[in-house]
Amino acid sequence: MSDERTRASLAPPVAPGPLRAPPVLDEAHIGDIKGALGTISLDDVAPRGSWRGRLIALLAIMGPGLIVMVGDNDAGGVATYTQAGQNYGTSLLWVLLLLIPVLIVNQEMVVRLGAVTGVGHGRLILERFGRFWGAFSVIDLFVLNFLTIVTEFIGIDLALSYLGISKYLSVPIAAFVLLGITMTGSFRKWERLMFVFVAGNLLVMPLAIYAFAHPHRESIMHGLFVPGVAGGIDSTSVLLIIAMVGTTVAPWQLFFQQSNVIDKRITTRWINYERADTVIGSFIVVVGAALLIITTAFAFSESPLRGQFKDAHAAAVGLGHTLGHPAGVLFALVLLNASIIGAGAVTLATSYAFGDVFSLRHSLHRPPKEAKFFYGSFAVIVVAAAGIVLIPGAPLGLITVSVQALAGVLLPSASVFLLLLCNDRAVLGPWVNKTWLNALATLILGVLLMLSAILVVTTVFPHVNVTRLLLGLSFVLALGCVAFAGGAIRGSRRAAAAPAPGSIEAAERAYAEALANARAIRGQALLAAHEARAHADEIARAAYEQAVTDAHSDEVAIAGARAHYRRAATEAAADLAEAEAMANAAYARAQAAAKAERDTAVAIAKAEARNWTMPPLALLAKPEWSRGRILAMYTMRGYLVVAVVLLIVKAGRLASGG
């Protein structure tokens, strides 16, 4: 598709005020959106009124969400989902459904951070939480990502060894492929090449399912919608569920998508399209994972290999035995494709973070000669990770286990920073989280903390009763949710009492107050009118009674008094009706004026929100933390230090054979 056919049409801007670019750290992050499937000009502010126009814009913007999600089904993901299907059939499919909102909530928040701030995740943590947490976020990201990249090359080795290719040939070639994909100096070329691997990942898995496995619909539906574990819940199954969560929700995803949104030059003008990209990617990653589980579940259902998962290579061999050699080949290709996508995305997330934190050029729009550190760090990481896999006797199994454990430790801290940043009004302004989103995100964070604790404890103390540990931590989580709910209610009441000036909430509150004042004025006018009517009635009745008394049974005089009384009552009723009409008309005018003012204020607030971007970081005042938040952050720091030390000790013992 040519750029001319996909370039969005230009029209006069619909929002008041000039469009403002976020304070990016690399000027290459400002300009036209040049995606794999289309281009959108920097000065394009035209509304998309037709479905065709919206689809063209979505195609141009689509990429960061889709790539980060498909990249999440990497070598570790393929192995984990294969283990779930081979050992537990389709009984764990329900876990994947629960992961959809987790993925959408987490990644939508980084989409907002990227589009609004123009600054990467690591840099925001450094500036808003201090040097310790900034250094910690980058160092732990590097360590975890590097180990993850090693596992991706392990996956490449396992996949191609099934096809009879030595790792001394396959791993170097894969490394050169990754370097070639990334070092094009063109964001569009990189994204198009990544889309090729995305398409391959999506097409091979359904082919493997429907060509070989022939699954039964009833058992699939039962596994999706009825939570349970084949054979009952035990320590092994709980740890596998945790692994499914950990391999689907990883810290590198936060850093990658935020930076990739910035690098693609997506601003708040196009944020809803990137949200759609993220939602689409979330469903695709879950569908891909489900297809892997279903394939292996039915392939091994009648095989002695059921429940005997060893690794991805053994799974490919098993599929070849049970379904035929083509099935094994397809599975190996799925593993190879997933490993390459994962390695490319995880490595790029690390290079983005380095460039962002050290304020160096870090954009795929730049050729290597203009961003030497960015591309150089990418190359060093890829070559080093590939080199470790090629070392004879390297502890690859220990590395794989360490990645899972370390990811479990670091994910909650990454999620905590994400939630805090998305409630930092100095950073996101009108784009901060809504109350309902904070509640959902906090619940997700609580679950991740619980799973992290279980993973750390079971890694260090493998004989602990995981079921009891899960029940105990679930009780603690429930208490935490109750406490949070109480705090959220109090916080929402305080926020409702003092909405931010110029916000939609402030406009709605002003409208409500104007209506309340207008109703009060109408009520006072109606009350005065009714009191005047009652007073007039009293005067007319008194006059009538006096006239009857004075008439001394004179029928003519009495009839005249009665007629006068009726005229007075009629006039009083007419006066009341007129007063009511005037009061209602005044209320209607006040209501219309208040509504018009509200609509104008809301329109301005929305336009300002669309154009609002974070001021330069140097101009932002440091956030003030409450005692409770300080205590929570130091508690998290202590947990991380203790957990990492315990994991290092455990890894040392395993490496020494102890």
Q: State the SS3 of 505-559.
A: HHHHHHHHHHHHHHHHHHHHHHHHHHHHHHHHHHHHHHHHHHHHHHHCCCHHHHH
pLDDT at 347: 95
The crossing angle, in degrees rounded to 10, of helices 325-357 and 167-182 is 50
Beta-carbon contacts of residue 217 (< 8 Å; ≥ 6 apart): none
Of 83, 146, 163, which Cα lies nearest the Cα of 336? 163
Residues in the chain predicted with pLDDT less than 70, given as ranges, are 1-23, 202-215, 401, 484-502, 651-658
Count other C-beta atoms under 10 Å from residue 579's C-beta. Answer: 17
Element of type H or E holding 34: strand 33-35
What tokens were used for 306? 């059921």
- Helix (DSSP H) and strand (DSSP E) numbers for the chain: 23, 2
Q: In the chain, where are the structural domains located?
A: 27-429, 434-498, 504-611, 624-658
Of 565, 526, 39, which Cα lies nearest the Cα of 270? 39
* One-letter amino acid of 334: V
Q: Report strand pairing: 38-40 vs 33-35.
A: antiparallel
Bridge partners of residue 35, in order along the sequence:
38
Of 198, 228, 193, which Cα lies nearest the Cα of 71? 198
CB burial readout 179-208, b (16+ within 10 A) else e: bebbbebebbebbbbbbebbebbbebbebb
Beta-carbon contacts of residue 367 (< 8 Å; ≥ 6 apart): 185
Beta-carbon contacts of residue 206 (< 8 Å; ≥ 6 apart): 291
Q: For the segment 62-111, what is each residue's pLDDT rounded down to a tens digit?
A: 999 999 999 888 888 898 999 999 999 999 999 999 999 999 999 999 99
CB burial readout 608-618, b (16+ within 10 A) else e: bbbbbbbeebe
Whole-model pTM? 0.82
CATH of domain 27-429: 1.20.1740
CB burial readout 467-478, b (16+ within 10 A) else e: eebbeebeeeee
pLDDT at 15: 42
Nearest 5 degrees, angle CA 330-CA 333-CA 334?
90
- Whole-number CA gyration radius for the chain: 33
φ, ψ for residue 183, nearest 5 deg = -95, 45
DSSP 208-250: HIIIII---HHHHHHHHHS---TT---HHHHHHHHHHHHHHS-
User: Locate tokens 């390695």: which residue?
Assistant: 343
pLDDT at 498: 59
Cβ atoms of residues 93 and 304 within 8 Å = no
What tokens were used for 61? 């913007």
Q: Which pairs from 510-516 meet CB under 8 Å and 24+ separation?
A: 510/594, 510/597, 510/598, 510/601, 511/594, 511/595, 511/597, 511/598, 514/590, 514/593, 514/594, 514/597, 514/598, 515/590, 515/591, 515/594
Of 497, 470, 507, which Cα lies nearest the Cα of 238? 470
pLDDT at 402: 73
CA–CA dist 76, 162 (Å, integer) = 17
